[in-house]
Amino acid sequence: MADYFNEMYHSGAVRTPYARLEDWMKTMPAEFRQMKQAEAEALFRRIGITFAVYGEGGDPDRLIPFDMFPRVFTGAEWARLERGIKQRARALNAFLVDVYGRGEIVKAGRIPANLVYQNEAYEKAVVGFVPPKGVYSHIVGIDLVRTGPDDFFVLEDNCRTPSGVSYMLENREIMMRMFPELFRANRIQPVDSYSDRLRRTLASVAPAKCKGDPCIVILTPGHFNSAYYEHSFLADLMGVELVEGQDLFVEGEYVWMRTTEGPKRVDVIYRRIDDAFIDPLCFRPDSMLGVPGLMDVYRSGGVSICSAPGAGVADDKAVYTYVPEMVRFYLGEEPILQNVPTWQCAKADDLKYVLERLPELVVKEVHGSGGYGMLVGPKSTREQIEAFRAKIEKDPDNYIAQPTLALSTTPTFVAEGIAPRHVDLRPYCLVGEQIDLVPGGLTRVALTEGSLVVNSSQGGGVKDTWVLAE
């Protein structure tokens, strides 16, 4: 494990943010730890938080393992991350407004036209429409990995409806209940303002036709959805209604919610339903999950939809390569957060390079997610690599490749005691009239020794993420 950056122990010493955790860790009796672990699991079961993170699939009723060892950032580390995350969220939104408008970035030759205009996620129905405050993606989940003290890379952007934020909130809640002494000994910045900030963000993008306090709802596909818990959790915290498509209807120029006191006008819909399903009159005609006529109301300024339909074109894995270019093009700044170098197998030169180096690369499907359908070269057998080679050769356009990153580790409770395990981070950036970020995010941890795949469907767990006050 010598090649990996350990976030707690570096160059033979404990790094400052973890200083006060060393004693806690070393003096904790094994029985106490097991008791606490059981307690944590019981708490998670009781609140019913058993869903998979965005697009990961897997058994929706399976509990995602919670690791009690927190992951810690200093205030200074976070300050830089925060600038980088906000910069990226601004650039992604500028890109979306541009490609549904004049398309300057394409005209300037900074991104290929076919990647944008022939992208499945590019919605013709919203071309020419600028959503309130010019925001398409209101909650941007940016997946980050760390490889050194100052080295962070963006793995992917999630501009549609990134999930998992309820874990960030629940992990903190449970840690505070179980280890109040840790929160006295460390100056940990709170994250519980997330729901207020989310509500403020959503309210700030209410349509111009809305006068007064906007009526916000969360639109869920229903209780069979793997993230239903999160939908109801956020609705509760924000004090807004959780609705399904059948609870809403279009009449005249507005969308209405059925209530016991009669119809109530809805101004902002935080939807957790994919574009294809939100309106059978505009997208898939067989969808029963959405609201017929919703898109016409949206396009004529009667309601806001968050994230805006069409936002997905910015978080495509092939478009990802161009995000640093977006930062330069729209903001005139250098990207604070780096992309992972990516080879696109659709390009002949890249394909050649990739096929020559399969044992050392990570290869992913362009539209894949959840850690399925990918090859981690250094962790694969010769047979697995050859089988994957055949798949790439058959359909090169469908694959991208990246170097195998030396993901940082943090101490993690495992059966044998405490051991380093690889982690990533998903912070949730809010974009409305203002751009806002709570100090924290969701840390996912690969619980299997040596594994670099943190997805819960592949044996990953979650941790509380601390940002210390300076």
Partner 1 sequence: MRLIVDHVTRYSYDQPVRGVVQSHRLTPTVFEGQTVVDWQVTVTDGCPGGVFRDGAGDRVQAWSVAGPVSEIVVHVKGVVETRDLTGVLRGHREIVRPEVYLRETTPTWADAALIELSSAADDASGPLDAAHRLSGAVADAIAYAPGTTEAHTTAAEALAQGKGVCQDHAHALIAMARHRGIPARYVSGYLFADAEGQPHEAAHAWAELWIVGLGWVGFDPANRCCPDERYIRLGSGLDALDAAPIRGIARGPGSETMNVRVVVAPEATQGQTQQ
What is the nearest approach in angstroms of partner 1 to the Cβ of residue 25? 55
Residue 319 in tokens: 């478009």
Site for partner 1 in 81-100 (CB under 8 A): 100
What is the nearest approach in angstroms of partner 1 to the Cβ of residue 390? 24
The reply to whether 351 sits near partner 1 by the rule CB under 8 A is no
What is the nearest approach in angstroms of partner 1 to the Cβ of residue 286? 11
Using CB under 8 A, which of 95, 129, 270, 322 touches partner 1? 129
Give the x-and-dash track for 99-118 against partner 1 (CB under 8 A): -xxxx--x------xx--xx
Using CB under 8 A, which of 15, 83, 299, 391 touches partner 1? 299
Closest CA to 112 of 311, 315, 321: 321
The reply to whether 397 sits near partner 1 by the rule CB under 8 A is no
Q: Specify whether the CB–CB gap between 152 and 84 falls below 8 A.
A: yes
Closest CA to 370 of 116, 57, 70: 57
Site for partner 1 in 215-244 (CB under 8 A): none
Q: What are phi and psi of 19, to 5 degrees?
A: -50, -45
What is the nearest approach in angstroms of partner 1 to the Cβ of residue 119? 9
Rounded distance between C-alpha atoms, residue 363 and residue 375, angstroms: 5
Site for partner 1 in 247-286 (CB under 8 A): 249-253, 280-282, 285
Strand partners, 420: 411
The reply to whether 301 sits near partner 1 by the rule CB under 8 A is yes
Q: What are phi and psi of 104, to 5 degrees?
A: -60, -40
Kindly give the pairing relationship between strand 428-431 and strand 139-148: antiparallel
Q: Residue 410 contacts by C-beta under 8 Å, 6 or more apart in sequence?
A: 6, 7, 8, 69, 71, 72, 420, 421, 423, 443, 445, 463
Site for partner 1 in 302-321 (CB under 8 A): 302
Using CB under 8 A, which of 45, 110, 124, 177 touches partner 1? 124
Q: Specify whether the CB–CB gap between 136 and 159 falls below 8 A.
A: yes
What is the nearest approach in angstroms of partner 1 to the Cβ of residue 352? 25
Site for partner 1, rule CB under 8 A: 100-103, 106, 113-114, 117-118, 120, 122, 124-129, 249-253, 280-282, 285, 292-293, 295-297, 299-302
